[in-house]
Structure 1
Amino acid sequence: MIRAIGDPDTAAGLDLMRARSPVHRAGGIRAPLLIAQGATAPRVKQAESDQRVAALDAKRLTVTDPLFPDEGHGFVRPENRLALYARAEAILARHLGGHAESLRTRRPRRAMPRRSCATADAQSSICPRL
């Protein structure tokens, strides 16, 4: 693993880690970016995602960063996947042109309505779950 990502105990290893780190490469990003985060992700912690977003904000780059409180690493809940795809569709439509379906029309049919990321506003950073 150290050969792949660098040894933090050596100068060369630290240089390799910095060269590959998304936080240190934020200045090279030119296009709007979507960073979706599962709050319970065991591999990519929310704090790491927040660091990336802060680095992009510092460079005044456009970033959308929805947080899914009930997801881990990967989006397995259908309502969260739908919300993520809707968010991506809205971003693509806004920056590339075209049409994005309103999130309001995507409300899933259920006996009792439940608010989730699938029905949250596309501009919101946090997807509430009631």
Structure 2
Amino acid sequence: MSVEPDSPMEGTPLIKPSSVDHELHEAVVDACRSVYDPEIPVNIFDLGLIYTIEISDENDVKIIMTLTAPGCPVAGEMPGWVVDAISVVPGVRHVDVDLVWEPQWGMDMMSDEARLELGFM
């Protein structure tokens, strides 16, 4: 049995873990929570659109995120909003945002707070 070269190896997480132990992690999460999808009254972090927050030892931040759907009207703008929000966090040197479509976003990725706000709980 061969493995497709672009497919992850079995057991590899679909979403790369975040740098939760970095001293800037909470401030970056708070910055992500300041960005809202204009069609949904919940911030993008609690919606589950932020897959990974990776922070280097040099305080460079890489965000891997998605949108609720590929046809989202703000697809071209949302990554810039995230860069703008995180760039002003004291200590952050550089921000890079990668927009991905795999794994596909689903309502199960929302936080309990988001589900409650949207009436799903």
TM score, norm. by length of structure 2? 0.27
Which structure has the bigger radius of gyration? 1
Larger RCO (alpha carbons 8 Å, 6+ apart): 2
TM score, norm. by length of structure 1? 0.25
Structure having the larger proportion of residues in strand: 2
